Structure 1
Amino acid sequence: MADGCACDRHAHMYLTVEDALERGLSVADPVTETEILPLEQAIGRVLAEDCASKVDMPAFDNSAMDGYAIRTGDLGDGPVFELPIAGRVAAGDCGDHDAPEGSALRIFTGAPVPPEFDAVLMQEDCDLLIDRIRFSRRPKPGQHIRRAGEDLCAGGPILRRGCEIGPREMAALASAGYGEVLVFRKLKVTIFSTGSELRHPGEPIGPGQIYNSNRYMLLALLQKPWIELTDRGPVEDDPTRLEQVLREACDASDLIVTTGGVSVGDEDHMPRLFSAIGGETDVMKVAMKPGKPVMFGRRGRALYVGLPGNPVSAYVTWQIIGSQMMARRAGLCHRPQITVQAVLAEPVQRRAGRQEYRPVQIDGTSPRGLPNVRLMAPAYSGRVALLAQADGLAIIPAEIEGLPAGHSIELLRF
């Protein structure tokens, strides 16, 4: 098999994935309103200002080990040294100790090192003789001492505006002396699914009806501490009702996400209705598979993302484009999606023209230590069970028609 260019004859009419994403990000203006929260209430929120340390980190010279603090100048020629133990320093002590020359102090990890002491011996390197220590390895000045400001000096930068405050960020802010932080307000997001055929899971279904999987997928995707989520549930294919719900959502939200109704069929009402309520549409078709019919636009302060109705198409489109638009709207700094290199376990043949995101399963590793991936069924846009069994998405560039087994490919891991 070889690279090819036998393309989808209509692909030149679509935006590339990169161009669609660039357009989407260009209209996703970040929210500007902020609030001050106690640090413990800011978990998962989006930081709204650059943060510098309020203190030296660490704030004082302290021991990196359990052991004994000594003055290296007290030591003779050796080869064996003995020092009496003149006191004890634990974490939380003031660090002031009147220890005579030629003596050591029992010290514990995190305890302040008295100014005149310049090294710490690990307890494992010492023999304890009741009230004295004996050791044979001469320590170097500064050994096992964490110096004040070694991690960061007061005024040094610790976090940038736009980061999501997770466990590592919480630890850094707490260590830097922040009792409260400035964060962006929560992003107001409204979701609903379109389609008269949709039913809630657990309800009986009749001919032509399906369970509404997209609603629950979006609920799971949008359960974030920086989102205030409104779920309008399924909305039947009634233009009057759809227009009402869409208008209300635009009036109340920063972002509206819908599934279904964005293609060109008679029951695909969303493009027309969005224009009817004063919305401006930015993208309608993207050269990606799955997910060709996708729509986003603006109405006032509201950003609208219309995803395809097929669940796999909706998931992929959201992950590749919609989620990044939402992150920018929430004030998060841009974080490109991270892919890894993988190896095809078997050849692939397809029609070129659209960038494809094919569900794959990982099947061991290659001799180079890369994941071996097996592409799942080529017809998959509606197969949500298949998506749940996948380990990630293989990214096949638009111009590629065929690739042999053993060829490297980009993998977006789940």
Structure 2
Amino acid sequence: MADGCACDRHVNMYLTVSEAVQRGLSVAHPVAETETLPLQQAIGRVLAEDCSSRVDMPAFDNSAMDGYAIRTRDLGDGPVFDLPIGGRVAAGDSGAHTAPVGSVLRIFTGAPIPPEFDAVVMQEDCEGSADHIRFTRRPEPGQHIRRAGEDLKAGAPILRRGCEIGAREAAVLASSGHGHVSVYRKLKVTIFSTGSELRQPDEALGPGQIYNSNRYMLLALLDRPWIKLTDRGPIADDPALLKNVLREACETSDMIITTGGVSVGDEDHMPRLFSEIGGETDVMKVAMKPGKPVMFGRYGDALYIGLPGNPVSAFVTWRVIGSKMMNRRAGLRDTPLVSEQAVLAEPLHRRAGRQEFRPVRIEGSTSGGFPLLRLLAASYSGRVALLAQADGLAIIPAETEYLPEGHVLEFHRF
């Protein structure tokens, strides 16, 4: 670990959420290996190099409108300008068009501006016939012309390393001439859930058994183009079995994510087992609700995150802490959770001490346009159905005991 933590060194200390995030990020080093892919295969992957434009954008002077290219020096005093049409220029043409002095060229959006023509009159401002046009407003030189390089000059930066290549990024890479790009290799992630009580959704439940919601939640959260996922399913609370699965996962993965078994109960084996296989561990008590116990550690180059077993706790802990560690491990740039301001629809009473991430539902908006939030149940760490009902998380500061109706607070929308 970055600070040489043992598994029990901080067990009696409560970290703030920001401290926990920074401690996790301190050991989440990006993968080093890259590969070069055709752009169409790189969509959704993580860019591994800074990219600059290989061409001027646009590459040539072109028309911003459908209309008529003119030479402003051909125009008389007006007030009516009546000119013959001397030719036609479409997108994809070479631009080496000429026309007699005193005539115009029919031109279309994206078509190159021929030499000596210095303005475009859009067709809506003209009257005329197939071979003649008339207009009354004198154009200025440069009107409705997109100049070469006005968007970007060749060599200008377009994207930074660490961005996920989505629609906008793919568009700018293509338009700037990048047919192949360097991306980080896929992050190898293994997941499993601990607990002898866990069953799959189609199985019959026996006494004391529950369905494994955390597995499917993680499958959805980790369904990303830059992840190569191995799903080990549920693992019973058998220390020998857990130890073997954990060691194998650490030897074959960049990142291991588990749910359950990270607290201080007799069946919470994961901190001890991770230490026994040679890993360096840190069990953190974080001053957050839900999700107080969370564990992370390292085994060689593998990064381990142990989430709470309660599904809402696991979801919130992953969203606030775990996902940031994974993103950095994959080579993504650090980005904060997107938040907005919202207004409470009812007063809040709570016990101060932990920063709370309360599931909320949006019930309209205020006259000022802020979302109006209805708080869901105060006790919710195991109530996974609330996640499906919620529209996001209200962020309640740790020191807060009471907030009145109408109070403005931070809100993370799902």
Describe how 1:189-338 pairs up with structure 2 within 5 A.
Answer: 189-338=189-338
CA distance in 2, matches of 1:268, 1:282: 14
Are 2:31 and 1:13 equivalent residues in the alignment?
no
SS for the counterpart of 1:151 is coil
Match of 1:188 in 2: 188
Contact (CA 8 Å) 2:20, 2:284: kept in 1 or not? no
CA distance in 2, matches of 1:357, 1:348: 13
SS for the counterpart of 2:170 is helix
Once the two structures are TM-superposed, the CA of residue 286 in structure 1 deviates from its matched residue by: 0.7
Amino acid across the alignment from 2:276: A
Once the two structures are TM-superposed, the CA of residue 338 in structure 1 deviates from its matched residue by: 1.2
Deviation string 1:64-94 (CA, Å, 9 cap, x unpaired) is 1111000111100100001111110001000
Match of 1:29 in 2: 29
Amino acid across the alignment from 2:295: M
Amino acid across the alignment from 1:344: L
Contact (CA 8 Å) 1:341, 1:370: kept in 2 or not? yes
Are 2:54 and 1:54 equivalent residues in the alignment?
yes
Kindly tell me the number of residue pairs found equivalent between the two proteins: 405
CA distance in 1, matches of 2:20, 2:56: 45
Contact (CA 8 Å) 2:11, 2:284: kept in 1 or not? no
SS for the counterpart of 1:196 is coil
Match of 1:384 in 2: 384
CA distance in 1, matches of 2:204, 2:318: 29
Moved over 4 A (4+): none
CA distance in 2, matches of 1:12, 1:158: 48
Deviation string 1:303-357 (CA, Å, 9 cap, x unpaired) is 0000000000000000000000000000001111111000111010111111000
CA distance in 2, matches of 1:111, 1:169: 25
Once the two structures are TM-superposed, the CA of residue 12 in structure 1 deviates from its matched residue by: 8.1
Once the two structures are TM-superposed, the CA of residue 11 in structure 1 deviates from its matched residue by: 11
Amino acid across the alignment from 2:395: I
Amino acid across the alignment from 2:173: L
Q: Which runs of 5+ in 2 are unaligned?
A: 1-9
CA distance in 1, matches of 2:409, 2:11: 22
Deviation string 1:345-381 (CA, Å, 9 cap, x unpaired) is 1010111111000000011111221111011000100
CA distance in 2, matches of 1:355, 1:94: 64
Match of 1:365 in 2: 365
Once the two structures are TM-superposed, the CA of residue 280 in structure 1 deviates from its matched residue by: 1.0
Amino acid across the alignment from 2:241: R
Q: CA RMSD in A?
A: 1.1
Amino acid across the alignment from 2:179: G
Once the two structures are TM-superposed, the CA of residue 283 in structure 1 deviates from its matched residue by: 3.8
Match of 1:80 in 2: 80
Residue identity over aligned pairs, in percent, reads 77
Amino acid across the alignment from 2:310: N
SS for the counterpart of 1:388 is helix
Deviation string 1:100-128 (CA, Å, 9 cap, x unpaired) is 11110000010001121010111010012
CA distance in 2, matches of 1:43, 1:128: 48
Amino acid across the alignment from 1:53: S
Contact (CA 8 Å) 1:11, 1:353: kept in 2 or not? no
CA distance in 2, matches of 1:217, 1:12: 30
SS for the counterpart of 2:234 is strand
Match of 2:121 in 1: 121
Amino acid across the alignment from 1:363: E
SS for the counterpart of 1:86 is strand
Q: Which runs of 5+ in 1 are unaligned?
A: 1-9
CA distance in 2, matches of 1:147, 1:115: 13
Contact (CA 8 Å) 1:20, 1:283: kept in 2 or not? no
CA distance in 2, matches of 1:165, 1:19: 30
Amino acid across the alignment from 1:52: S
Match of 1:68 in 2: 68
Amino acid across the alignment from 2:103: S
